[in-house]
Structure 1
Amino acid sequence: MLRVLVADDQDLFRGGFSMILDAQPDITVVGEASDGVEAVRAAAELQPDVVLMDIRMPTMDGVEATRRIRAATSARVLVLTMFDLDEYVYAALGAGASGFLLKDAHRDELVRAVRVVAAGEGLLAPTVTRRLIETLAQGGHAVPRLKARLDELTVRERETLTQVARGLSNAEIAAELVVSEHTVKTHVSNLLTKLGLRDRAQAVVFAYESGLAVPGSPSQE
C-alpha cells in the first residue's frame, strides 16, 4: 500500500486530491498539511512514500519544504501547481522533486503520477517538459563537463537517454528502438547510475544541458 501525504494550502484542492487517491485500492492518504512547515513535520512523523506538494503555500513554500523533506526522509515528492513557469520547474527539480504535474491534470493522470514517482521514476507534465526544453534551448551551448560525461555511456544507453528526453515511457522507447521493455529498463537504470542521476526527471535536464538532446531536432518532433 502506497502511503501519501497531501500538502496544499487550499482545503478544496487538499480534500479533492485526498479523496481521489484514497479511492484507489493500492493508495492510502496518511495525512494532510496546509503549509510547508506542517508538511515537513508530517513527513517526518508519518514517513509517507510520496508527498503531494503544492508550490505556493504560506509560512514555507513547497520548494523549501521539498528540499527539507528530501534531506530528512526517504519520501519522494510529486509537485502539483497551477503554474507551469520555468522558475518553478527548476526550483522543484533542484530541491529534489521527482515529479511535476499541473493541477488541471485529469484524476487518472494524478493517480498514475503518484504510482510512477513511488516506483522510483521521474515524471514531468508534457507542458512542463516543453517549457523546460525551450528554456534550456535559450541557455546557449552545452556544458562541457556534462558533455564529457556522456562518454561513460554505451551507444544504446545514449539512444535510450535521448528517448527519455523526449518524454517517452519505457514501452514507447522499446518500440522505438526495437528492443524489449526489460532491456530499456536495464539501460535506464545503468545510465542513471553512471551519470549519478536520481531519476528520469533529472535525466531529461541532463540530456539537454549536455547537448545530447537538441530542442527542435527531428528526434524531438
Structure 2
Amino acid sequence: VFHAINKLKLIATGDIGCYTLGALPPLSAMDTCVDMGASITNALGLEYSLKGRDKRKIVAVIGDSTFYHSGITGLIDLVYNKGTSTVIILDNSITAMTGHQDNPGTGKTLMGEDSPKFDLERLIKGLGIEHVYSVDSYNLEEVANLIKRETERSAPSVIIARRPCILLPEMKKKKFDKYEIDENKCTGCQMCVKLGCPAISFDKEKKKALINKSLCVGCSLCFQVCKFGAIKKVQGE
C-alpha cells in the first residue's frame, strides 16, 4: 500500500499502528501521525486547508482495530462535512501492534469468548460512504490502480486492504514459497530494497540485492516490482 502511495505521490495522513513505520525510510510515505483516529480528520482538515494551494490527492491510512476504536467518528465527520478524501483501512484481522488482542472485527472478546463479528463493508456503507472496495494488499498493481481511481473521485471512498498479520499463530504454521535473487540478472537498482521488507538487504560490494529466506514470507511484492526478472520463486522450502 505504501509503495503505491509513494508511486502516486499522494499526501498520506497516518494513524497509530504497525503501519506507522511507513513514515520511515525507505518507504517515507506517511506525512502525519497524531493519535488514534486522527488520520481521517487530518485528511479532511488538509483537504480544506490546502484547497487551491496543493493539487496532490489525500489518503488517510488507518488499521482495522484503530478504525473500530476511534476512526468511525472521523469517517462520519468526512461524510458530514462533504470531504472527498480516500480512507485506506489496513485490515490484518487483529490488533497487531499491542500484542494481537481481539477487536470487534475478529468475532472474539478479549477473554476469548465468541461475540458478534462486525462487517466492515456494511458498517462503512451505513455511515454514508457509497464507494467501498476491498483489495488483496499483496496485489501491487490492483492496489495502485484502485487507489488512483478512488483518489480521483469527487466523493469520499474507502478501500479495505486485507491480509492477515504474518505473526498470527495460524500464519506461523503455514509453509510459504520463498523467493531468491538471481545475481546474474540483478542490476542493483534497489527497487526491491525500497519496499522496506525485513528479508531484503543490499550487498554494497557486489551491488546486488539479497533475500534472507528465513525471513521471507512469500508475499511476492519483490517479485512484482523487479523489472529485470531477477527474482524467482523457490518452491518447497
Q: Structure 2-normalised TM-score?
A: 0.37
Identify the structure with the greater helix proportion.
Answer: 1
Identify the structure with the greater strand proportion.
Answer: 2
Task: Decide which structure has the larger Cα Rg and report it.
Answer: 2
Greater relative CO (CA pairs within 8 A, separation 6+): 2
Q: Structure 1-normalised TM-score?
A: 0.40
